[in-house]
Amino acid sequence: MKLMNLVVIVYFVGIIIGAIFFNLWGTGNLIKPLIALLWTALFLIAIVYVDRKSE
């Protein structure tokens, strides 16, 4: 399996777990959506790292 596919799978599993179990997009809280934003930022950094490593 390519490393990029693994990064994408881990990201989507994390988003699904966050949505179902931690209610990240619930109303009335500012911290939880910021955690999801941080998770996406880490995903983008991982994509750039994997892309540069594969070249």
Query: Which amino acid appears at position 20 of this protein?
Result: I
Sole residue written with tokens 């500012």: 30
The pLDDT tens digits of the residues spanning 2-55 come to: 888 999 999 999 888 888 887 777 766 778 778 888 999 999 999 999 988 877
DSSP structural state of residue 44: H
CB 26 within 8 A of CB 34: no
Q: How many Cβ atoms sit within 10 Å of the Cβ of residue 18?
A: 16
State the pLDDT at residue 28: 66
State the pLDDT at residue 23: 78
| Neighbouring residues of 39: CB distance < 8 A, sequence distance ≥ 6 | 11, 14, 15, 18
What's the token pair of residue 35?
Answer: 């955690």
State the pLDDT at residue 17: 87
State the pLDDT at residue 1: 67
State the pLDDT at residue 35: 82
pTM for this model (two decimals): 0.77
